[in-house]
Amino acid sequence: MKKILKIMAMLSIIAAVVFAAGCAEKPEAAENETQEASNITNETVTEANITQANETTETGQVVTEADSGTSISLKKGENFTLQLRENPSTGYSWELNVTEGLSVLSDEYTQDEAAEDKVGVGGTHTWIIEAVELGSQQVNGIYRRSWENTTGTEENFTLTVEVE
């Protein structure tokens, strides 16, 4: 658990640095520094992935909105990646719930690239989820604004995970 918290803290710091760098004009001298920061980010993510790979078995399965309502099979200790499109700049985001037999290892939002004059660009929310208990498990998500009442017309995501 401490390793996961450390990784999340490192990713938060990296995200803050990347965000701050994107808020200022980049003089030519700063481009080299940005490239160096990008290299550090790639190394940090790689180290995080290696740490995670040592702790769990990865299946390489990537699940998206197109897989809603379906079922996948995993062995205990394996994990999969869930990627759902969202645009939190409009207030909409995914509220994700998993049954106790699943564990969310990481939870990250990545905004799509945007032109300088564009705001409100969407992106992809990515979760890495591990199968920790045998049996039929569930992933349920609802795409909504957190301050609005649920009406039943919201977009939903469901996935059954059969853990062997």
Query: Domain containing 146 — which CATH number?
Result: 2.60.40.2020
- Report which of 77, 88, 79 is spatially closest to residue 133, judged by C-alpha positions: 77
The pTM of this model reads 0.65
For range 8-22, the mean pLDDT = 44
**97/95 Cα distance (integer angstroms):** 7
> What phi and psi, each to the nearest 5 degrees, are found at residue 119?
-130, 165
Angle at 71 between CA 70 and CA 76, to 5 degrees: 155
| 63-82 residue pLDDT tens | 999 999 999 999 999 999 99
Give the mean pLDDT of 94-104: 97
Say yes or no: 135 and 71 in one domain: yes
**Helix or strand (DSSP H, E) at 26:** none
Structure confidence at residue 102 as a pLDDT band (50, 70, 90): very high
Structural domains in the chain (count): 2
List own/partner pairs for 148-157 with CB under 8 A and 24 or more apart.
156/68, 157/65, 157/68, 157/84, 157/94, 157/96
DSSP string of 39-108? HHHHHHHHHHHHHHHHHSEEEEEEE-GGGTTEEEEE-TTEEEEEEEEE-GGGTEEEEEEE-TTEEEEEEE
Residues 101 and 164 in one domain: yes
- Both 23 and 42 in one domain: the answer is yes
Residues 87, 65, single domain; the answer is yes
